[in-house]
Amino acid sequence: MKALCLAILLVPLTSEAQFWRGAGRGVQVHGGVQLLYGDSILDRLIGAGPWPEIYNDMDTIRAMGIAVWNGERWDSLGYRISDGEAQTHCFLRHAGELYASGNWLYLNDQGIVNTGIARFDENTLRWEDLGCTNPQFSGLATITSKANGTGFYFTGHRGDPCSLPASNVFTYDGNNYESWIPFEQIPYAQDNYVGFVFEFLSMTYMTGLFRDPLSDGYSSMMRYNGNNWEYVPGWGQLTEPIKEFSIHNDTLYLAGTFRRSVGAPGNLIARFDGSTWDDMGGGLLHEPVPMSGAALDLLWHHNELWVVGLFTRAGDIPAECVVKWNGSQWCSIAADLQGHFSWFTTPTVQSITSWRDSVYIAGGFSYINGEPVREVAQWLGGDATVACSTPVVGLPESLIRPTIQVSPNPVAEELRLVGLPTGTYRFKVYDSVGRKVLESMDDPGTLHVGRLEPGMYHIVIMGSQDELLAKAKFQKL
């Protein structure tokens, strides 16, 4: 593999170099640009990593770990993020405002040291605190939007924002932190870690590595049904790391370092319909050292799923570090990457985003297709592909769900379900915040909802083996 890379360097592939374009001259710190965020409001591509400076073609910008690219050059974003090699973990927009989390510190308006999470004031170009002081570093690092748009989850290692009782999960609504009550059912352990909390099919999922509330040991993913924690079907008590998730067309996609050889439902990536998993054509593989492979980030672009990380194969085709899934097969693109600073460093793509309808990648690479492209690169190849894997012949039956209609909608007393095939069903109804408010074995065509409070609800229809069959939304008058 490395001999091929060296050969490419000696004879640059000019026909493929046009597929990528670099953004500036990168940084001079090992680790490179590790996070990208395409921000349509600022109309800038934001890059972050553990570095104090970033280089344009003609000048150097002191950016202190966060910089913005306008399509031509890098510039700094805001003031008061501390010097030093501190990583930024997440960017997120909530209620139109930009938030960031990381291992850095900054001074608030009173000159008091604050850490971990900040909100960007686009008028003053300063980072500000979230209404309280957090002077001590904690392991809380990840921010994830709530599905109902009311705020976000703040997760990680144990911390105590705003002097609240220490925990691994908090919510924030734009004004206040609150403890997340469901986490109180998780047994205490000093090494509990929570990666993401998110809603999917009216349940709340949690990833990380935390004590299992149902038995001894740990788990890397469970879900909360509105009353109690339960295992995710097909995942069970696996402790394999999950690095990223995406929900698209009512299907959950997970990326990480999990492998089928240890009992996972896929290799580095898999999709889930609420009851059954699909391994997406065999998933991904890092052939030199299979145990070191990882899918690190996901991006939906033009209705295709782009995946980046450390791998050399997707399904039955070669694919180095960047690949896309079109719903039934993997397709590789012209992306022969060479490592960061040294040809002996394994190239890895750590982040992917879209900005101005283009795909951008970032990570530990210095060359693509033999051409210098330092840490951040823009894809110029459009729909060009090198090869595509054997298509998946049909989807798993569980992923093909009947289309149902609910009537009347809005409803006062009796909800009719049209389109269900003959069978035995269990109906579960959840309110807008994911609490289960009704479970019924009513007549297959009718559900009595008269006792529910007015509002929006989700109905999930399960089969006789508790498999997911269909789902819908309705409004109760």
Q: Assign residue 155 the CATH number of its domain.
A: 2.130.10.10
Final residue before a domain boundary, out of 388, 421, 447: 388
Residues 422 and 294 in one domain: no
Q: Are 252 and 244 in contact (CB under 8 A)?
A: no
Residues 192 and 278 in one domain: yes
Asked whether residue 167 is domain-assigned, the answer is: yes
Place of tokens 């500000």: 128
Name which residue leads in pLDDT, 34 or 459.
Answer: 34
In eight-state DSSP terms, residue 3 is: H
Asked whether residue 393 is domain-assigned, the answer is: no
Name the nearest CA neighbour of 121 among 134, 105, 108, 136.
108
The structure tokens listed for 250 are 């009512």
Select, from the ranges 55-69, 123-137, 160-174, 204-218, the one with the highest average predicted confidence (pLDDT): 204-218
| pLDDT of 73 | 95
| pLDDT of 229 | 97
Place of tokens 């896309």: 324
Beta bridge partners of 394: none
Handedness of CA 133, 135, 139, 142 (dihedral sign): positive
Asked whether residue 394 is domain-assigned, the answer is: no
| pLDDT of 394 | 61
Final residue before a domain boundary, out of 338, 363, 388: 388
| pLDDT of 275 | 85
Residues 376 and 448 in one domain: no
How many Cβ atoms sit within 10 Å of the Cβ of residue 211?
15
Residues 383 and 408 in one domain: no
Asked whether residue 395 is domain-assigned, the answer is: no
Final residue before a domain boundary, out of 335, 355, 388: 388
With 0-12 / 13-18 / 19 or more C-beta atoms within 10 angstroms meaning exposed / middle / buried, residue 410 is exposed
Evaluate if residue 395 carries a pLDDT over 60: no
Residues 298 and 423 in one domain: no
The structure tokens listed for 251 are 């299907």
Name which residue leads in pLDDT, 221 or 437.
Answer: 221
Tally the domains of the chain. 2
Asked whether residue 308 is domain-assigned, the answer is: yes
The range of the structural domain enclosing residue 53 comes to 2-388
Name which residue leads in pLDDT, 398 or 234.
Answer: 234
Place of tokens 């009718």: 446
Residues 406 and 381 in one domain: no
Asked whether residue 143 is domain-assigned, the answer is: yes
With 0-12 / 13-18 / 19 or more C-beta atoms within 10 angstroms meaning exposed / middle / buried, residue 260 is middle
* Mean predicted confidence (pLDDT) in 331-348: 77
Residues 458 and 353 in one domain: no
Name the nearest CA neighbour of 226 among 4, 17, 431.
431
Residues 383 and 415 in one domain: no
**pLDDT band per the 50, 70, 90 thresholds, residue 398:** low
Residues 289 and 436 in one domain: no
Cα separation of 295 and 419, whole Å?
38
| pLDDT of 43 | 96
Which tens digits make up the pLDDT trace of 452-470?
A: 888 888 787 776 655 666 6
Beta bridge partners of 18: none
The structure tokens listed for 275 are 């009851």
Asked whether residue 192 is domain-assigned, the answer is: yes
Q: Are 418 and 446 in contact (CB under 8 A)?
A: no
Name which residue leads in pLDDT, 27 or 221.
Answer: 221
Cα separation of 358 and 278, whole Å?
29
Evaluate if residue 422 carries a pLDDT over 70: no
Q: Are 419 and 402 in contact (CB under 8 A)?
A: yes
Q: What is the SS3 assignment for 133-149?
A: CCCCCCCEEEEEECCCC
Residues 351 and 420 in one domain: no
Write the CATH number for 434.
2.60.40.10
Q: Is 31 helix (H, G, I), strand (E, B) or coil?
A: coil
Residues 328 and 384 in one domain: yes
Asked whether residue 396 is domain-assigned, the answer is: no
| pLDDT of 12 | 38
Host H or E run for residue 468: strand 468-476
The mean predicted confidence, pLDDT, of the chain is: 86
In eight-state DSSP terms, residue 165 is: P
Rg, Å, the chain Cα set: 24
Residues 248 and 101 in one domain: yes
Cα separation of 304 and 279, whole Å?
17
